[in-house]
Structure 1
Amino acid sequence: MAEGALIIVVEGIIGQLGKLLANKVVQEIGQLWGVKAKLERLKSTVSTIEAVLLDAEEQQAHNHTIKNWLGKLKDALNEADDLLDDFSTEVSRREVMNRNKKAKKVRIFFSKSNQLAYGRKMGHKIKTIREKLDNIAEERKFHLEARPRETQWISSVPCSIGKLKHLRYLDLSHNNHIKMLPNSITRLHNLQTLKLSCCRALKELPRDFYNLVNLRHLVMDGCDGLSHMPHGLEKMTNLQTLSKFVLSKKTGSVSGLTCVLKELHGLRGDLEISNLRHGKDGALESNLLKENHLQSLTLDWLEEDIDEADIGYDEMSLEALQPHPNLKRLSIRNNGGVRFPSWLPSLTNLVELTLSHQKKWRHLPSLVNFPSLEYITLVSLDSLENISEMEWQSLSRLRELDLIALPNLVSIPAGIQHITTLQTLSISRCPIPLERCKRETGEDWPKIAHIPMLEGETLWQGTIWAVIQASITKRNTEETQA
């Protein structure tokens, strides 16, 4: 096995153990014959091996003893991987039974007696493989350097990863030097979870990526270097998590997004769509997201100059991306329209709202429509006029408010003093005179005096400068009296 491949197997096992331990079905079975405790001990054993594995893989080229030890370890880890794969399959079957109470045969299979038998059998197998791994670990008579898990980065994924046919969970997150994944990874037909978070150098996914037909979770937040998505994602109908979709900057790229959103109706969790195009080339069909039950949605248009003729197309594209009304977090950036979409006021369950670089929006939807809002961020809304006092008063749950680069904001918004839940207020690059925010004496100080955390250069300078002045005055008074 190529250097780096074994550590990928280990991380996959640890990830799969974590998912199993958190699963409700496993917790039910885990009460029988101590299966859960045995899984936890197995995870501890594998984590201990993982700590020295990178050093062992580096030394094996010139140390025959270490090479033989790794060979034994590889066989045992593959055995553990197969065992967990079988266990995960049975857990999935139980989950199906829970959703289909009429499936009598499945109910019989997982009756109390069968649960006892299965729990005893699985507990014995887990104990056996853990003891085998413990024995191999104890055979190590040579020194290996234990390295913290977070430093075990890899610069490339070996092509041999395609041989791990039973792999179901793969986490490559935070490997900042990976630029491409080998096409052999598309042979992992049992893979269900692929995590690539913060692989910032990753440029593209393999061309045959759609062959991962059983993939359920594709996590790519923080993959800022991605230039486009591969063709055929719409064939991956088992996908439940697609955290990022990057459009190519080439003309006609929206067709791929349209196909994917039309076919993937089971999307959950977070979705960020970036490089949305302006103008006619970026026009989208209606109701592409309405059937998905997303919790978080980020819509990011290309940062470029917009012609007046493109304004209407940008508004239509934004209108077409209407999410499910249960959405919790929404971020809109760089859309060239002059007004907010008609569906925005319907998102009454929003907890977090970010509006950034909407240069032509003069008004926001009534804040009364968002009783659950806890976090608001407004950035570079060049045309935005002040929001009325009554609007701010309606935000009875607001915890944090960030106001950045709002050229028309010349004073602290009236009504903020009534938001008793507000914990943090940050104001930056807004034309609010420093004197208005000075502690105790500033005209706007009564509006912000109750807020525990004040951030941003205007508020910071205003409050700190007042403290400094008070300190100087006190010192001068003491010196005079002396």
Structure 2
Amino acid sequence: MMWCSELITISGGFRELKSSLKKLIISNCKLGALASGLQCCASLEEFVIWHWGELIHMNDLQELSSLRRLSINRYDKFIKEDCMGNLTQLRELNIGGFSNELEAFPVGLVNSFQHPNLSGSLEEVEIYGWDKLKSVPHQLQHLTALKTLKIWGFNREEFKEALPNRLANLSSLRRLDIVSCKNIKHLPSSTTIQRLSKLETLRICECPREENCRKEKNGWEWPKISHIPTIIFY
């Protein structure tokens, strides 16, 4: 793990660790680029980038062929290039909490969801909102192998629904978490929820209007979700 607010370079590289490095966490650094040789670390399975405000180029991610879990949070720069399309082993992705200069997820990240290497293999996605974010990225609809989707902290006033109707294409989805979304107005349509035929668990937490989904409150949303085997509120 690297947690050095003034770190701007890493001397040397990662080539000597290419067969043994499994997990790398870089947080609160000012690095201008990924360290030399990181792309040689074919053994790397988990990579976490947290609040890495000065990172500009992410092309080296394309070479991390063994990467199974990737977390990119509080990243302050625009990402225009497809930085994940070649990650054939990626199973878990955690993204969000980006710069308030952005009103949507960086194009280079979410457009990667259309790549066959991800659309047919990515199984869990956790996304975090930020102040200016208006909606869940529509590109999620391409992740047909997705089993778990967790939505956190979408609090902008314009954010009205948890899951746009076009995301009914998530035919493999088994778990949906909606957490700390204070301005959510309603769930998707009944048709959309019914199309999520494999959905087994719905968790709604810290959402002020969750009472609309509760059977004991005669919530008007309850008929939409009553068929789901496990529903969790708290």
TM-score by length of 2: 0.76
Query: Match for residue 113 of structure 2?
Result: 345
**Preserved contact between residue 245 and residue 272 of structure 1 (Cα < 8 Å):** yes
Q: 2:132 aligns with which of 341, 360, 367?
A: 360
* Aligned CA distance change for structure 1 residues 234 and 390 (closer, same or farther; 3 Å): closer
User: How far, CA to CA, are the matches of 1:382 and 1:412 in structure 2?
Assistant: 15
User: How far, CA to CA, are the matches of 2:149 and 2:126 in structure 1?
Assistant: 6
Say if 2:52 is the partner of 1:290. Answer: no
**Preserved contact between residue 15 and residue 41 of structure 2 (Cα < 8 Å):** no
Secondary structure, in 3 states, of the residue corresponding to 1:446? helix
* Aligned CA distance change for structure 1 residues 439 and 420 (closer, same or farther; 3 Å): farther
Where do residues 4-43 of structure 1 align in structure 2 (5 Å cutoff)?
A: none
Query: Match for residue 82 of structure 1?
Result: none
User: How far, CA to CA, are the matches of 2:186 and 2:48 in structure 1?
Assistant: 34
Q: 1:314 aligns with which of 47, 52, 77?
A: 77
Secondary structure, in 3 states, of the residue corresponding to 2:223? helix
* Aligned CA distance change for structure 1 residues 395 and 269 (closer, same or farther; 3 Å): same
Q: 1:273 aligns with which of 49, 62, 65?
A: 49
* Aligned CA distance change for structure 1 residues 367 and 285 (closer, same or farther; 3 Å): closer
User: How far, CA to CA, are the matches of 1:331 and 1:266 in structure 2?
Assistant: 21
Query: Match for residue 187 of structure 2?
Result: 412
User: How far, CA to CA, are the matches of 2:69 and 2:122 in structure 1?
Assistant: 9
Deviation at 1:243, TM superposition (A): 1.1
User: How far, CA to CA, are the matches of 1:367 and 1:375 in structure 2?
Assistant: 12
Query: Match for residue 421 of structure 1?
Result: 198
Identity value in percent: 21
User: How far, CA to CA, are the matches of 1:301 and 1:268 in structure 2?
Assistant: 22
- Name segments (4+ residues, structure 1) moved above 4 Å: 228-231, 318-321
**Preserved contact between residue 345 and residue 365 of structure 1 (Cα < 8 Å):** no
Deviation at 1:354, TM superposition (A): 0.6
Q: 1:369 aligns with which of 133, 137, 142?
A: 142
Deviation at 1:319, TM superposition (A): 4.6
* Aligned CA distance change for structure 1 residues 445 and 385 (closer, same or farther; 3 Å): closer
Query: Match for residue 236 of structure 1?
Result: 16
Secondary structure, in 3 states, of the residue corresponding to 1:259? coil
Deviation at 1:345, TM superposition (A): 2.5
Q: Which has the higher contact order (CA 8 A, sep 6+)?
A: 2
Deviation at 1:417, TM superposition (A): 3.5
**Preserved contact between residue 147 and residue 175 of structure 2 (Cα < 8 Å):** yes
Compute the RMSD of aligned alpha carbons: 2.9
Paired residue total:
213
Query: Match for residue 186 of structure 1?
Result: none
Deviation at 1:407, TM superposition (A): 2.9
Cα displacement string for residues 306-328 of structure 1 (whole angstroms, at most 9, x for unaligned residues): xxxxxxx6223x75743524222
Cα displacement string for residues 3-42 of structure 1 (whole angstroms, at most 9, x for unaligned residues): xxxxxxxxxxxxxxxxxxxxxxxxxxxxxxxxxxxxxxxx
Secondary structure, in 3 states, of the residue corresponding to 2:45? strand
**Preserved contact between residue 351 and residue 375 of structure 1 (Cα < 8 Å):** yes
Q: Which structure features the higher share of helix residues?
A: 1
User: How far, CA to CA, are the matches of 1:320 and 1:390 in structure 2?
Assistant: 23
Where do residues 83-162 of structure 1 align in structure 2 (5 Å cutoff)?
A: none
Point out where structure 2 has 5 or more consecutive residues left out of the alignment: none
Point out where structure 1 has 5 or more consecutive residues left out of the alignment: 1-222, 303-312, 458-482
Deviation at 1:433, TM superposition (A): 5.3
Deviation at 1:285, TM superposition (A): 1.7
Q: 2:171 corresponds to which letter in structure 1?
A: S
Cα displacement string for residues 398-457 of structure 1 (whole angstroms, at most 9, x for unaligned residues): 111110122331222222243221121111122325244224943111111112221122
Deviation at 1:355, TM superposition (A): 0.6
Larger Rg: 1
Q: 2:86 aligns with which of 320, 324, 336?
A: 324
* Aligned CA distance change for structure 1 residues 258 and 321 (closer, same or farther; 3 Å): farther
